[in-house]
Amino acid sequence: MKTIGVLTSGGDAPGMNAAVRSIVRSAESKGMTVKGVMRGYNGLIENNIVDLDIRSVSDIIQRGGTALFTARCPKFKTEEGIREAIESCKANGIEGLVVIGGDGSFRGARDLSLGGIPCIGIPGTIDNDIASTEYTIGFDTAMNTVVEMVDKLRDTACSHDRCSVVEVMGHGAGDLALMCGLAVGATSIVVPEKEYDSAKIIEKIHATQKRGRNHFIVIVSEGLCDVRELAKEIETATGIESRATILGHIQRGGSPTLRDRVVASKMGYAAVELLSRGIGNRVIALKDNKIVDYDIFEALNMPKTFDEETYLLADTISS
Ligand code: ADP
Ligand code: F6P
The 10s digit of each residue's pLDDT in 127-163 is 999 999 999 999 999 999 999 999 999 999 999 999 9
Ligand 2 atom with minimal separation from the 176 CA: 6
Query: What is the topology classification, in CATH, of domain 141-252?
Result: Rossmann fold (3.40.50)
| Cα separation, 34 vs 36, whole angstroms | 7
The pTM is what? 0.97
Taking the centre of ligand 1 as the mean of its atom positions, its distance from the CA of residue 140, in whole angstroms, is: 23
Q: Specify the pLDDT at position 319.
A: 77
DSSP state of 124: B
Taking the centre of ligand 1 as the mean of its atom positions, its distance from the CA of residue 107, in whole angstroms, is: 6
Residue whose CA is at the smallest distance from ligand 1 atom 27:
108
Shortest-distance ligand to the CA of residue 146: 2
Residue whose CA is at the smallest distance from ligand 2 atom 4:
11
Q: By the 8 A CB rule, do 253 and 243 touch?
A: no
Residue 183 has pLDDT above 80, yes or no: yes
Q: CATH classification of 3-138+256-300 is 3.40.50.450, yes or no?
A: yes
- Side-chain-side CA neighbours of 112 within 13 Å: the count stands at 34
Q: Where are the domains of the chain?
A: 3-138+256-300, 141-252
* C-alpha torsion angle, residues 64, 68, 71, 73 (rounded to 10): -150
Q: What is the DSSP pairing of strand 33-37 with strand 49-52?
A: antiparallel
Give the model confidence (pLDDT) of 66-102 as tens digits.
Answer: 999 999 999 999 999 999 999 999 999 999 999 999 9
Taking the centre of ligand 2 as the mean of its atom positions, its distance from the CA of residue 171, in whole angstroms, is: 7
DSSP state of 95: -
Q: By the 8 A CB rule, do 134 and 251 touch?
A: no
| Cα separation, 134 vs 10, whole angstroms | 19
Task: Please indicate whether the domains covering 3-138+256-300 and 141-252 agree at the CATH topology level.
Answer: yes
Shortest-distance ligand to the CA of residue 104: 1
Inter-axis angle of helices 139-159 and 258-276, nearest 10: 160
Bridge partners, residue 258, by sequence: none
Residues with CB under 6 A from ligand 2: 11, 102, 125-127, 169-171, 222, 252
Q: What burial class does residue 213 get, using C-beta atoms within 10 Å of its C-beta: 0-12 exposed, 13-18 middle, 19+ buried?
A: middle
Ligand 2 atom with minimal separation from the 252 CA: 4
Enumerate the active-site residues: 127
